Structure 1
Amino acid sequence: MSDNQVTIDDDEDVVPMSTMKENNIDFINKMKRKVQKEEKNRQKRICSQEIEDKTTYELTRNQRLWSMKVNDEFIDSIIMTADGGHQENVHLCSLLMMNENTLNALRFIKDRNDMIKEYEIDSSVSADVLRQVVHFAYHDYASLNETNCVETAEFAAKYQIVSLVHYCLRYFQDNCTIRNVLNGFKISIQIDSSYRPFFQSFIEDNFQKILASNFKTTLLTINDSSVLDIIASQRLDSRNEEEIWQIIHDWIDYDRHSRVKYIEHAITNVLRFGRLKDEFLKMNVLGSNLFKQQLEPCLQTRLINWIDELNQQTVVIRGSFELTNGFKLKYCKHSIYYQPRETKELLLVGGGWVEGSTTSSLELYDYQTNLWLKCPLNLKDKISYFGLEMINDIVYVFGGSNGTDVFQKLHAFNLNDPQRQWTSKCSMIERRCYVSSANLNGLLYAIGGFNRQTRVRSCERYNPDLDSWQYVAELNYGRSDASAVVHDGKIFIAGGINDSGIESSAEIYYPQLNQWRLIRSMSSPRTSFSIISFQNKIWALGGNDGVKRTGSVECYDSESNVWNEAENMLIKRSTFSAMVLKDELYVVGGYNGQSPICNVEKYVPNTGWVKVKPLRHDRSGLNLLCIPNKYDFLKI
């Protein structure tokens, strides 16, 4: 016996240690009954007020056991990691209280002495995970983090420790990274958990990000047809059906032997083949090795005939029908096979110069159909060269010009408000057109611009909660028709024009310091251009260099403080707008040196610049937002 002598009541059901050694299972059961009996006895003594200091005995059973564990009292087991690098002294009954299956994770090694047995835990368990499992057994709590959470959850699922599995799944839900959600979904399938719908919904909404991440393989390892249910969803975040076929192909091919049975289901219930170009369907789907080599010839023929029959029954609308002609694909509103997936976000383009005058009209872009649609909402005023930002479902328009006046006012539109009316807010301190704008930490910034007399250095900030503007630090240089963007918690601004000419300089605003600091200048001067945060860099696009409109592009790397040349745009333009949508960089409208233009292009990573459906109208001096496709009166 240890130095800490403990007196055991004579009526406690304690068996001789020699008997315990003869039968390990009997030993475990005896210890469980002993702890349970002790708990009942203590509760009786508390209720009968036999104990003067109740605080000590009102501790939970696990707290008392933990205290004994810390003091090595009644320790009956030592659990070691497979490499022998870590061990935990425990009361085995505490682990078994979670689930008796925990015993299956332990391999008996030897009797350390008459009191203590030694075990080795599952070889997949690290020292950190063993600590978490033991701590959870005593406290119903574990110190999970991004390093140990997945391994802990996998161990708990393997041995059906349901309480610990749910604890881990709650951690995954509260810390929604792609890695956590994919592993949470995988584990929730194993135990049929109520958390499964949450993880499935997250995967559907973030499917594009998953495919572009380093965790795509985790999705492929999920050996359950529920993966196909996700891919079949109307809500799936996907750009095109070619991408869908590729992930179907990759998922089946990852474990071809056991998943080849799903090919027919994938083609008839998951893939929307009507959204594929005929050549892709023929070569990449029906001509793939999965289809030609893994399916019986009779099944191949039956599927091909089924697709042909559907095509013949479907109304094919091309060219003139504006809701479907963006990609010139087959369409039928009565058949899911010919309908696009749900659009998650929209580009909202508004204002600017159209047909010789300023406009208040707006257009919406749907990336699923490659179409620009008329928007049922108009701006409050006919306006150009204005600030446009969105905070918490509220669109803010400030500054700008109608060609005659320079505006000082601010208008707001709540996209959730059923009244659908613009409301006037506190006007800016100064009037500004050609103003650069930014939205940082829920505050609007109006930066530089032209006040009808001079190109200004002043900047002001609007607080929506207080409905008030206040000055912030001035720019190092006056800038009108510059461009600003938020990146890494700071505001970047570059270019523009002032009394000295067109600027190539750039500077950063540090909100905590209320200070602008110059950084390395762009390689060429630019005004009437756009800068955008894309792929962890600042992209400067097009504009006017003082001699001509340009299509040149350069990227700023904040770590190296260097601007590097990038691929030129397809069209030289100024006074346009740019925005990132679905991890692609869109450039919209502008002026080509002779007239406003309706041309749109986008930069696709690993592909380059490609043409996009043109705007409904030629526009220059416009502005652009990316908004969720969730508002009833705008929803596509």
Structure 2
Amino acid sequence: MEFNSKHRKLSKSKNSVRTATATKPRLTKRRIIARKRKCVCLPENYSVVEFPAIWNELRQNGQLCDGVIVCKDKKSIQVHRAILSAVSPYFKAIFVNSLKKGKPEETEIIVDVPSYYMNLILDYAYTGTCVVTAENVEYLLPYADQFDVVGVIQLCCQFLLQELRPHNCLGIFKFARCYFCSELENKGKLFIRQNIARILKECSEFKLLSHEELEDILRDDELNVRNEEIVFQAVKMWVEHDLENRRKYIPSLLSCVRYGHIGYKYFKSKILQWQPVIDDEKCQEALYPAVVFLTVLDSRPDGEADLNDPLARPRIPYEILFAVGGWSAGSPTSFVETYDTRADRWFLSIHMDLSPRAYHGLCALNNLIYMIGGFDGSDHFNTVRCYDPVANTWHERACMYQARCYVSVVVHDGLIYALGGYNGRTRMSSVERYYPQKNQWEMTTPMNKQRSDASAASLGGKIYIVGGFNGQEVLSSAEIFDSETKQWSFIRSMLSPRSGVSLIAYRDSLYALGGFNGYSRLNTGERFCPQRGSEWQEVTEMFSARSNFATVLLDDMIFVIGGFNGSTTIPHVECYDGDTLEWYDAAPMNLTRSALSACVLAGLPNARSFSYLAKAVPAAGADQVYHS
């Protein structure tokens, strides 16, 4: 579905007037009631309206009709004035002749609208719904707006919201703004912020933005960019589309880039050597503070930017990493740390209503965090707790059938699966799954092997589990579960036995990382691609050997967090980039811990409260503990 920003504007001006005939009134775009209408395009409690079937039956049979609509294409449509007036204050005002008190009521109205669109509006008037498509929505919404048919406006906006894609979002955003659909406009703007990297690649309309629109997007704290090079590339792409006419905006646009998050080498070779910058003294002046800042930063041994400097102000992350519980300083902990990937900073919080827990499972579903099973140093749990990051509250959920620590947890098809684990007596092969809507667990097909301290992931509509410990040996075997047939099958074993392993689905493959092979902790990893063959292949080694650590996907990279290296618990964090096939260091946690779990939540409405901009103390680099 494509949206052209140069679409025909049917009713932007609320005071435009059409020429009236001598005998019959034509509708105008003048509002009968001069008041500012509250946006109703995307109500929170939206639902399809059901109208009595008899209404449409009378319409189709032409029975009891008492009015006529004459369309632009000269087609006449018989209507029931009361039914049409019920959904349109505009038609009601015309039919009852409210502007001409004492005059006879109108029974025929001429509209400057094709009969196809008028019939769609009548479909809604008689049935409570109408067919909205990519082909008709661009005109149907303005006509519905013209006649004040709120229900059709809502249908159109719901459709457009579902159709938001990187290639069309700018057109839909402008369309919503043109027709005063402020809620759709806001959601469109949010989509643009969150998907800017894909928009640069897929949306041809990006190059047609005005410089004010572009600046508004690029200056936004919530712009979701993995690095600031993307912001510069956006400026470069837009300017070079019409260099002569846009050259004058370059100094202002260059100030949208937060240079404290750009490498000095990239800055020198790509930005300072950009021809429009070389040719323009004003551009060079605009970049002078960044030159000084990055030169000083490059000369420092630690190479860390002062995030309190405006040039290094971090943006608000779209994704927030939560690391929960674990084993630290000789005992389980209830501490929660959140990671701001834009600032590369961890923040520690104490959740007073969360009991210490280690060797538990953790997963994210519907922007809630579920903490499953675990061990507190004496008891093995079957309990489940759920964290709402918006309300900042923990709640009990239905208990599992069996206590499980060293449990493998995965989300698949909207359900949570708890696989294997240790109940204090035996390693288990049993599997159960949780239905969040029902708040119920049910037992399902057990695995072929007993597995505790294994790891599971979902990929391509299947659940995979690898490694673990069965009470006698560390396992290299792997299994796959088909939720349709409820059958487990073995797949090719890993190259190495691994207990305390982390399995994660990344792009089209499964990555089994780290763990304990029965002799030592591992820094190795291996990759399995179900679509490309049946062999595991070695991947680049991590910097740190580790077992019982947490693994998440963040910024399209694999992050590994904490763990046990064979002699001590560690706070170290590193990330794997599938493009370069390399590992990179990230900021360490505040706590050293293993047996922790982590997950990522995206698009939180209160993401700012978990960000550096909300958490940072005035003194750069100071640590702070936050109580909740």
| Equivalent runs, 1:377-526 vs 2, <5 Å | 377=351, 380-417=354-391, 420=393, 422-499=394-471, 501-526=473-498
Measured after TM superposition, the shift of residue 169 of structure 1 is 6.9
**Is the Cα–Cα contact under 8 Å of residues 455 and 479 in structure 1 kept in the other structure?**
yes
**Is the Cα–Cα contact under 8 Å of residues 351 and 379 in structure 1 kept in the other structure?**
no
**Is the Cα–Cα contact under 8 Å of residues 167 and 203 in structure 2 kept in the other structure?**
no
**What CA deviation, in whole Å up to 9, does each residue of 1:230-285 have, x standing for no partner?**
111112112222221122112212322222221011123x2233444555444432
**Is the Cα–Cα contact under 8 Å of residues 504 and 510 in structure 2 kept in the other structure?**
yes
What is the match of residue 626 of structure 2? none
**Is the Cα–Cα contact under 8 Å of residues 164 and 188 in structure 2 kept in the other structure?**
no
Matched, 1:252 2:239: yes
**What CA deviation, in whole Å up to 9, does each residue of 1:307-331 have, x standing for no partner?**
679x69xx999999xxxx8x71133
Matched, 1:545 2:533: no
**Structure-2 change in CA distance of 1:219 and 1:547 (3 Å):** farther
**Is the Cα–Cα contact under 8 Å of residues 381 and 405 in structure 2 kept in the other structure?**
yes
Matched, 1:371 2:358: no
What is the match of residue 249 of structure 2? 262
Which residue, 594, 598, 601 being the options, matches 2:567? 594
CA distance in 2, matches of 1:632, 1:606: 29
**Structure-2 change in CA distance of 1:429 and 1:215 (3 Å):** same
Matched, 1:623 2:597: yes
Matched, 1:288 2:270: no
**Is the Cα–Cα contact under 8 Å of residues 319 and 600 in structure 2 kept in the other structure?**
yes
Measured after TM superposition, the shift of residue 471 of structure 1 is 1.5
Q: Secondary structure at the match of 2:168?
A: helix
CA distance in 1, matches of 2:260, 2:168: 34
CA distance in 1, matches of 2:491, 2:179: 54
Q: Secondary structure at the match of 2:359?
A: coil
What is the match of residue 185 of structure 1? 173
**Structure-2 change in CA distance of 1:388 and 1:274 (3 Å):** closer
Measured after TM superposition, the shift of residue 358 of structure 1 is 2.5
**Is the Cα–Cα contact under 8 Å of residues 385 and 622 in structure 1 kept in the other structure?**
yes
What is the match of residue 129 of structure 1? none
**Structure-2 change in CA distance of 1:401 and 1:203 (3 Å):** same
**Structure-2 change in CA distance of 1:185 and 1:564 (3 Å):** farther
**Structure-2 change in CA distance of 1:616 and 1:500 (3 Å):** same
Q: Secondary structure at the match of 1:448?
A: strand
Larger mean Cα displacement after TM superposition, 552-561 or 161-170: 161-170
**Is the Cα–Cα contact under 8 Å of residues 188 and 196 in structure 1 kept in the other structure?**
yes
Give 2:534's aligned amino acid: V
Give 1:303's aligned amino acid: A
Which residue, 278, 282, 305 being the options, matches 1:329? 305
Measured after TM superposition, the shift of residue 499 of structure 1 is 4.7
**Is the Cα–Cα contact under 8 Å of residues 484 and 492 in structure 1 kept in the other structure?**
yes
Measured after TM superposition, the shift of residue 423 of structure 1 is 4.3
**Is the Cα–Cα contact under 8 Å of residues 528 and 537 in structure 2 kept in the other structure?**
no
**Is the Cα–Cα contact under 8 Å of residues 95 and 137 in structure 1 kept in the other structure?**
no
**Structure-2 change in CA distance of 1:172 and 1:562 (3 Å):** farther
**Structure-2 change in CA distance of 1:564 and 1:66 (3 Å):** farther
What is the match of residue 273 of structure 1? 259
CA distance in 2, matches of 1:431, 1:627: 27
**What CA deviation, in whole Å up to 9, does each residue of 1:127-155 have, x standing for no partner?**
xxxxxx98447645996656x58xx85x9
| Equivalent runs, 1:571-582 vs 2, <5 Å | 571=543, 572-582=545-555
Measured after TM superposition, the shift of residue 434 of structure 1 is 0.7
Give 2:547's aligned amino acid: S
Return the TM-score normalized by structure 1.
Answer: 0.69
**Structure-2 change in CA distance of 1:306 and 1:33 (3 Å):** same
What is the match of residue 111 of structure 1? none
Return the TM-score normalized by structure 2.
Answer: 0.70
**What CA deviation, in whole Å up to 9, does each residue of 1:128-185 have, x standing for no partner?**
xxxxx98447645996656x58xx85x999x999979989776433322222313323
Which residue, 280, 283, 286 being the options, matches 1:303? 286
Q: Secondary structure at the match of 1:551?
A: coil
**Structure-2 change in CA distance of 1:402 and 1:245 (3 Å):** same
Measured after TM superposition, the shift of residue 565 of structure 1 is 2.1
**What CA deviation, in whole Å up to 9, does each residue of 1:362-398 have, x standing for no partner?**
2221111111221232673332211122344543322
**Is the Cα–Cα contact under 8 Å of residues 182 and 219 in structure 1 kept in the other structure?**
yes
**Structure-2 change in CA distance of 1:359 and 1:175 (3 Å):** same
Give 1:204's aligned amino acid: R
**Is the Cα–Cα contact under 8 Å of residues 524 and 542 in structure 2 kept in the other structure?**
no
Measured after TM superposition, the shift of residue 593 of structure 1 is 2.6
Give 1:247's aligned amino acid: A
**Is the Cα–Cα contact under 8 Å of residues 250 and 283 in structure 2 kept in the other structure?**
no
Which residue, 517, 530, 535 being the options, matches 1:558? 530
- Aligned pair count reads 514
Higher CA-based Rg: 1
CA distance in 2, matches of 1:511, 1:63: 55
Q: Secondary structure at the match of 2:458?
A: strand
Q: Secondary structure at the match of 1:496?
A: coil
CA distance in 1, matches of 2:493, 2:214: 49
**Is the Cα–Cα contact under 8 Å of residues 167 and 204 in structure 2 kept in the other structure?**
no
Give 1:328's aligned amino acid: E
Q: Secondary structure at the match of 1:240?
A: coil
CA distance in 1, matches of 2:356, 2:299: 35
| Equivalent runs, 1:104-115 vs 2, <5 Å | none
Measured after TM superposition, the shift of residue 412 of structure 1 is 3.3
Give 2:160's aligned amino acid: F
**Structure-2 change in CA distance of 1:192 and 1:318 (3 Å):** farther
Which residue, 91, 109, 112 being the options, matches 1:97? 112
Q: Secondary structure at the match of 1:562?
A: coil
Give 2:500's aligned amino acid: S
**Is the Cα–Cα contact under 8 Å of residues 194 and 223 in structure 2 kept in the other structure?**
yes
CA distance in 2, matches of 1:248, 1:96: 46
Root-mean-square deviation over aligned CA pairs = 4.3
**Structure-2 change in CA distance of 1:220 and 1:38 (3 Å):** closer
Give 1:262's aligned amino acid: Y
**Structure-2 change in CA distance of 1:619 and 1:245 (3 Å):** same
**Is the Cα–Cα contact under 8 Å of residues 374 and 404 in structure 2 kept in the other structure?**
yes
Which residue, 340, 344, 366 being the options, matches 2:314? 340
**What CA deviation, in whole Å up to 9, does each residue of 1:485-538 have, x standing for no partner?**
233444322222225633333333333444334344434432211111211322
**Is the Cα–Cα contact under 8 Å of residues 160 and 172 in structure 2 kept in the other structure?**
yes
CA distance in 1, matches of 2:227, 2:299: 18
Measured after TM superposition, the shift of residue 210 of structure 1 is 3.4
Matched, 1:584 2:557: yes
Measured after TM superposition, the shift of residue 479 of structure 1 is 1.1
Structure 1 residue runs without a partner (length 5+): 1-28, 40-51, 69-93, 99-132
**Structure-2 change in CA distance of 1:244 and 1:494 (3 Å):** same
CA distance in 1, matches of 2:177, 2:608: 34
Give 1:255's aligned amino acid: D
CA distance in 1, matches of 2:527, 2:74: 61
CA distance in 2, matches of 1:187, 1:338: 35
Measured after TM superposition, the shift of residue 483 of structure 1 is 0.6
**Is the Cα–Cα contact under 8 Å of residues 520 and 561 in structure 1 kept in the other structure?**
no
**Structure-2 change in CA distance of 1:307 and 1:590 (3 Å):** closer
Which residue, 184, 207, 212 being the options, matches 2:196? 207
CA distance in 1, matches of 2:344, 2:593: 18
